[in-house]
Every structure is written in C-alpha cells, then in structure tokens.
Chains A and B, each alone.
Chain A
C-alpha cells in the first residue's frame, strides 16, 4: 500500500503503543545523527499547525467519530508530508518520524474503521527505510503511562468507542486492541521489532546499528555546521525532537 522510497533521502520511523518508550529512543537517535554531521529533520504525529485548531475544537466538543478522527489525523499527516517530510526527503535529508501511517492503521482500525480504507488513504506516503516497532507487554506500557501521568484523556483512552465506562479500563482495552493490530502488521509491512523492556541504552545500541546499516554507503545532504541546515534552507518550521511530553493525541 505504501510506495517505495523514490527520493534521495532516508526515512526512519518509530512505532509502538503509548508508553513503549519510542519517543525517548528517537530523541536519542536524532541527537546522535546530528552529532555525526547529518542533516536530520524530525516530525511528530499530530503536530501540523493547520489542523490543530480543528482537532482541539472537536476534542473539546467530543464530536469526533472514528471516521472524522481518522481523516483529520491523515490531514495532519498530509500537511506535514507535502510541506516538509517529502520535500526534505527529496533534498537528501534524513527524516525521523515519531509515529507514521502505521499508527493510523493500528489505532483507527482498533476504533472500527475499515482496514483497507485507511491503508489506501495513506497510500501517497512512502515505505520507510527503517520502521522500528517498540514492543512491550500491555501491562508494562500501561503501568508507565498511569504512573507518569495524572490523568488520561477522553480520546486517548478510547472513551468515545464505549469499551468501558471506567477510563482506566477503557484505556487498557483500547491499547490492547492497538497492540494486536501492531502485531498483525509486523509481517504485513516488515516492521523491525525491538524489545522495549530492555534498558534505554541497550535499545539505543540496537537502534543505532540498524540505522548504520540503512545509511551505509549513502551520502545524503551534507551538513557542514552540524545543524539541520536543510530545514532552514527550505524555510520549514523546525520541530524539536521528543521532549518527553508524551504523545500528542
């Protein structure tokens, strides 16, 4: 469903349920690649300014349905895709994405939309050069989220679907369904599974070795200042890599 990479750039993405530790890993990867003198750009799920006002209003009014939720998430992705990710890949930049189309395939299907429909909706995007799926048992991920955060949000917990009246219970059921979808996609899309229960350092070592393989013999856009020059030249707003605030939902 996703096109092959037809650009000079490299696309590396991380996936996993909430609390899988993927944002920590991609942040470390981002800094490491920068220190290597690479032109790197970071893009985060649900971060388009254009879609933000709409998403915010709809969340507040609780007017989202699984379909509108899905289409708006794709709108956000498309805006980032057309205005930053794709042009930068063409320029030969390494693009790192915290969540990619697979997030939609897992989450929107868990919310009840048609799997083939949502896959086709994202078919304008390319297949990443590396898709890293941080897999942790449900209890571990849920424990991390509930331990670190005061409150679960309505949509994040899948409350609109009616899994349970209890928000914590609903969150667990919803995340479990998302995890099932991820597991199904490992073979379908050739995701690279990383055991997210290992130490941060041990995981990062694996991540870097995978990325080294992807970049072997590849030049890309040079970065003399060790800053993301490509980003500035294309006049595209720079995003900061995961600041540990958790996912934007």
Chain B
C-alpha cells in the first residue's frame, strides 16, 4: 500500500488511499504498435495471475461524444482541443484508473497524458500551461516508451490501416500531401517525446524490432517492476 504521488495539484478534495495496484503506461507515436502490445501484455499478465484493467485515450464516457463530433468538423482550436482531452483524462483517472489501482489491478494505459502534451505543444499551447493542467496526473509506476523511426512507422501504417489526416498532422499545414506531412509531423512528435523521456523518466524500448521482440523487452521491464528482477537485456539509455 502506498500514498499516491501526483505531478502537481492532484485532487485536493479527495483522499486516495491504498493504491496497491501498479500503473504501467505504454507511450509512443501513432503506428508504433501499442495496442498490439497491450493485448499481448494483458494476456501474459493474466496468465501470471494479475487482474488487469486497460485504458486508453478518448475512452471516457464523459467526452467521447463531444470529441468525436469535434473531430468530424475540425472546428477545435488548440486550447479547446487540449482541454477536451484533459477532461477525458481526468475522468478516466478519477473514475477508472485510481479505483482499479485501489482494487489491486495492474492498469495498462495505452498512452497517458504525455502524447497529448506533445501534440498540444506542437500546436502552440504553452508548455508550462499544459504541465500545470496535467498536475492532476498520478505518477505511473513505469512508463515504457516504444520508439521507432519515422520511416518504419510510415511503412507499418501504409501496409496496415493507412495514413490519416490527424496522424499526419495535416491541420498544421506542414505539407499538402499526406506522406510528407506525416514524416514531418511525426519527426516533430518524436523530438517532443525524446524531451519528455528525459523529464519523466521513460524507459525506452526499441520499437523498430518485430512485435515479438518488442514484447520480450517490455516483459523484462515489467517483470523488474513486479518482481524486482534484473533485466536480461541492457536497458536502452
């Protein structure tokens, strides 16, 4: 049992006690294969005997309708968009993630607020402003950052579900074609992530590898957290 640690203000009106579970975050850019890994990790953790709860961005009941509506119409300005995501995050944190941690679950979060922070900053929101906003966030036990090269990301997406408007950052008018825009935009996102990795102590995992190799690496780090085991492979810097 431990006292929760928040990055900033937290939730002063509410005392959260006995968070016996573990919060594990998977971060990384679009197309890096996070959702595949969440599925694999969930199955593995359940085999190990852990109760697992997974969560991801925009899964809050509270803001789903509004966010979908807004994305259709492209009418959201940067600050408004940022706040909408923050509302979604706050809702999931208070109503799903923390209760699950209190119940002793391992919570696997497919992204946390770091992605949102990178995206908001690239769209002109002041970094200090975004940091204050996410002062409500609980510090995860482990943040696994799946890092892949832009070319590799583009290849996977094109061979998979295709490139989309938002993932290519087309709203930023970096280029008028989807591929060039994707490369430029995601390179900026990776740059932001690299900064965040330093600031928030991410554990970086090489996501240029095939999925089964990535899975092995992720497992090593999670085992270290859950069983205090040393990893077989060296932790990438």
Give the interface of A toward B (CB within 8 A). 50-51, 53-54, 57-58, 61, 63, 65-68, 71-72, 74-75, 78-79, 81-83, 111-114, 116-117, 120-121, 123-124, 161
Known contacts being A58-B62, A68-B94, A83-B77, is A113 close to B69, with CB within 8 Å? Answer: no
Residues of B within 8 Å of A50, CB to CB, are 66, 69-70, 75-76, 80
What would be 15 A-B contacts, judged by CB atoms less than 8 Å apart?
Answer: A50-B69, A50-B75, A51-B66, A63-B62, A65-B14, A68-B62, A68-B94, A71-B83, A78-B79, A83-B75, A83-B77, A114-B9, A114-B12, A123-B129, A161-B13
Minimum C-beta distance from B209 to chain A (A):
38
Would A54 and B129 count as touching, CB distance under 8 A?
no
Query: Does chain A have a CB within 8 A of B65?
Result: yes
Contact A53 to B129, CB < 8 A, known contacts A75-B87, A111-B13: no
Instruction: Decide yes or no whether B215 CB sits under 8 A from chain A.
Output: no
Q: Are B87 and A113 in contact (CB under 8 A)?
A: no
B contact face: mostly helix, strand, loop, or mixed: helix
Chain B residues with CB below 8 A from A117, complex form: 8-9, 132, 135-136
Q: Is B53 an interface residue (CB 8 A)?
A: no
* B116 within 8 Å of A (CB atoms): no
Q: Which residues of B contact A72 (CB under 8 A)?
A: 62-63, 83, 87
What's the Cα separation between A215 and B62 when bound, in Å?
A: 42
The answer to whether B77 touches A79 (Cβ under 8 A) is: yes
Least CB distance from B97 to A in Å reads 13
B1 interface hit (Cβ, 8 Å): no
List of A residues within 8 angstroms of B14 by Cβ: 65, 112
Residue pair B9, A113 in contact (C-beta under 8 Å): yes
Q: What residues of chain A lie closer than 8 Å to B179, measured between beta carbons? A: none
List the 6 closest A-B pairs by CB distance, nearest first: A112-B13, A82-B77, A114-B9, A117-B9, A54-B66, A75-B83
Residue B91 CB within 8 A of the other chain: yes
CB closest residue in chain A, given B13: A112
**A120:B132 contact, CB within 8 angstroms:** yes
- Shortest beta-carbon distance from A120 to chain B in Å: 4
Q: Which residues of A contact B70 (CB under 8 A)?
A: 50
- Tell me the smallest distance from the CB of A83 to a CB of chain B, in Å: 6
CA distance A58 to B11 in the complex (A): 19
A113 contacts B13, CB within 8 Å?
A: yes
Least Cβ–Cβ distance between A72 and chain B, in angstroms: 5
A63 to B70, CA, bound (A): 21
Partner among B11, B75, B79, B129 whose Cβ is within 8 Å of the Cβ of A67? B11
Please encode chain B, from 76 to 104, with 1 for each CB lying within 8 Å of some chain A CB and 0 for all others.
11111001101100110011000000000
Which chain A residue shows the least CB distance to B132?
A: A120
Q: Tell me the bound Cα distance from A61 to B95 in angstroms.
A: 13
Whole-angstrom CA separation of A57 from B65 in the bound complex: 9
Q: Which residues of B contact A116 (CB under 8 A)?
A: 9
B window 1-58: CB within 8 A of A: 8-14
Extra 16 A-B pairs, beta carbons < 8 Å, given A112-B13, A117-B136: A51-B66, A53-B65, A53-B66, A53-B69, A54-B66, A61-B61, A65-B91, A65-B94, A65-B95, A72-B87, A82-B77, A82-B80, A113-B9, A114-B8, A114-B10, A117-B132
A82 and B70 alpha carbons, distance in the complex (Å): 14
Q: Does B163 contact A (CB under 8 A)?
A: no
For residue B197, CB closer than 8 A to chain A, the reply is no
Residues of A within 8 A of B66 (CB): 50-51, 53-54
Q: B214 within 8 Å of A by Cβ?
A: no
| Residues of chain A with a CB closer than 8 A to B62's CB | 54, 57-58, 63, 68, 72
Most chain A beta-carbon neighbours within 10 Å: one of B80, B90, B133, B135? B80
Residues of A within 8 A of B12 (CB): 112-114
Contacts of A113 in B (CB 8 A): 9, 12-13
Q: How far is the CB of B227 from chain A (nearest CB, A)?
A: 34
Known: A68-B87, A82-B77. A54 touches B65 (CB 8 A): yes
Which B residue's beta carbon lies closest to that of A124? B79
Do B132 and A68 touch across chains, with their CB atoms under 8 A apart?
A: no
Contact across chains for A65 and B90 when beta carbons are under 8 A apart: yes
Q: A67 vs B62: C-alpha distance in the bound complex, in angstroms?
A: 12
Instruction: Tell which of B9, B76, B94, B129 touches A124, judged by Cβ atoms closer than 8 Å.
Output: B129
